[in-house]
Amino acid sequence: MAAYNFARRLKTLNRLTPYEYICRIWTSEPDRFIIDPILQMSGLNT
């Protein structure tokens, strides 16, 4: 799952990884998100 979200670039997302796409949309249109998506990502601090 981590390899898919952080490494695989998808054609439907304009060659971005799902993580990069969510971060880009969040910075350009923050009103679409109720919760900060960065807090929902699993990682070293979870």
User: What confidence score (pLDDT) does residue 39 get?
Assistant: 72
Give 10's strand partners. Answer: 16
pLDDT averaged over 10-residue windows placed end to end, the chain, 46 residues: 81 90 89 75 63
Give the pTM.
0.64
- The answer to whether residues 21 and 13 touch, using CB atoms and an 8 Å cutoff, is yes
Strand spans (E) along the chain: none
Cβ neighbors of 14 (< 8 A, separation 6 or more) are: 21
User: What confidence score (pLDDT) does residue 32 get?
Assistant: 83
Tokens of 29: 């249109």
User: What confidence score (pLDDT) does residue 43 get?
Assistant: 65
User: Apex CA 18: angle with CA 23 and CA 32, to 5°?
Assistant: 45
